[in-house]
Amino acid sequence: MEPRVLVLDGNQRAALAAVRSLGGKGLWVAVGESCSPCMAGLSRFCCQTTTYTDPFTSPRQFFEDLLKHIRELNITFLLPITEATAYVVLAYRNELPQHVTLPFAETESVERLANKNRLFQLALDQGVPVPETIFCDHAEDGLKALESIDRFPVVLKPFKSKILEPDAILATQVVIANSRKEAVDALNSHFFFQFPFTIQSFVEGSGQGIFALFDHGEPVCFFAHRRLREKPPGGGVSVLCESAPVDDQLRMHAEKLLRSVAWHGVAMVEFRVSADGTAYLMEINPRFWGSLQLAIDSGVDFPWWLYLASTGQTVPEVPWQHRRVRWLLGDVDRLYLVLKSSSDTYSIGKKLVEILRFFKPGWRTRHEVNRWQDLRPFWFELKQYLRALKS
């Protein structure tokens, strides 16, 4: 059977990177999204587009639509990009046609990593540092635990960022509480604290991540990047980043955890490194990440190598190269946030420096979305951006 790939979540930048990677290798690639058109679907490397029901509002109908597209398009390789679509597909994976490859570990292995309560317990068992942690089943547990906590801030962390229910997907958020009152208010006001969560000590330090590809329990490659600019400026999504050497401590911790669950597929392992150099585990996301294009440009072609590893083919050994990638419209947003910030945060002088840095992103910086040989995704992104500004 001819290989035919379906990439989901077509409005994600990671989906666009995957389509360009796999389509550039000569594979037939289709793109799915809950709306049409979508960014990755406009790439010249996309052969066909499909639409499906929004998984957030109707997970089961989304999967029924997906099965229909798989049959009609003769799909052999299914690639969810976001947690939402991945969790639904994994929940019903036994209903997928046998000839369809889903590049994930067993569902139980995914659950042990994606469920943060289980992940932190696994890390403790494996000797991987985690912040001081109290495990809670629901808000009432948290309220009792807060009575014995005298050091703030604390971090209230839901067990998942996306919770799959029979009739919807619920989005959660991490809450940083600077006092006992803030923590109590958060537990009483957010519905998702009726599900399991943890209360963790706040770790001062820098966020660092490592990206991995595993082939049925064995590591294939690791990659790391350095965030140069983020949106919002105080910490968030990377808008300018560059490839960086893999930290040995982070790699050791990540490999230990991923090996322990016989991991297969990609994973993003996030740490917070304190002033004394200790790397504390924050979370593991079993999916592609926003700055995926940087890894591909650096020679670590995660989507292609994932396809090879998942279809029983040999993954090449290629040393990474230093590259820098910029998400242009994200960087525009960041500059706007800087310019409108108060003088206490950014003085006039600092704002002028930020303007100069914006127009000089660095030597040989590549753009993540807008690429001369494949410009239609950028025009679409720009139209959406301008439409959002008007509304």
pLDDT tens, position by position, 59-79: 999 999 999 999 999 999 999
The ranges assigned to domains in the chain are 4-102, 105-131+203-391, 132-201
Q: pLDDT (tens digit, 9 = 90+) per residue, 259-286?
A: 999 999 999 999 999 999 999 999 999 9
Question: What integer pLDDT is reported at residue 82 of this predicted model?
Answer: 97
Residue 256 Cα distances to 9, 173, 219, angstroms: 30, 27, 10
Pairing of strands 206-215, 28-33: unpaired
| Residue 114 DSSP SS3 | helix
pLDDT of residue 343: 75
Please give the CATH number for the structural domain made up of 105-131+203-391: 3.30.470.20
| Cα(311)–Cα(76) distance, integer angstroms | 10
* pLDDT number for residue 361: 79
Task: Compute the distance between CA of residue 135 and CA of residue 218 in angstroms, rounded to an integer.
Answer: 30
Query: In the chain, where do the E strands start and end?
Result: 4-7, 28-33, 48-51, 77-79, 133-136, 154-158, 162-165, 168-171, 175-177, 197-201, 206-215, 218-231, 237-244, 265-273, 279-285, 324-326, 365-367
- How far is it, in rounded angstroms, from Cα 388 to Cα 330? 13
Query: How far apart are alpha carbons 77 and 3 in whole angstroms?
Result: 7
Write the pLDDT tens digit of every residue in 307-357.
999 999 999 988 899 999 999 999 999 999 999 998 778 889 999 999 999
DSSP 188: H
CA atoms within 13 A on the CB side of 300: 25
Structure token pair of residue 287: 């999916």
Q: Which CATH architecture has domain 4-102?
A: 3-Layer(aba) Sandwich (3.40)
Q: Kindly report the length of the chain.
A: 391
Please name which of 336, 329, 320, 323 lies closest in space to residue 369, comparing C-alpha atoms.
329
Nearest-angstrom CA–CA distance, 390 and 386: 6
6 close to 50: Cβ distance less than 8 angstroms: yes
Task: Answer whether 15's CB lies under 8 Å from 31's CB.
Answer: yes
Q: Retrieve residue 221's tokens.
A: 């490659």
Flag residues of the chain having pLDDT under 70: none
Rounded to two decimals, the pTM is 0.95
Rounded CA separation 24/18 (Å): 10
278's torsion region: left (phi>0), alpha (psi -120 to 50) or beta?
Answer: beta
Domain at 132-201: CATH architecture? 2-Layer Sandwich (3.30)
What amino acid occupies position 357?
R
Confidence (pLDDT) at 52: 98
- What was the pLDDT predicted at 223? 97
CA distances from 89 to 64, 79, 105 (A): 10, 10, 13
Which residues pair with residue 154 across a beta bridge? 177, 201
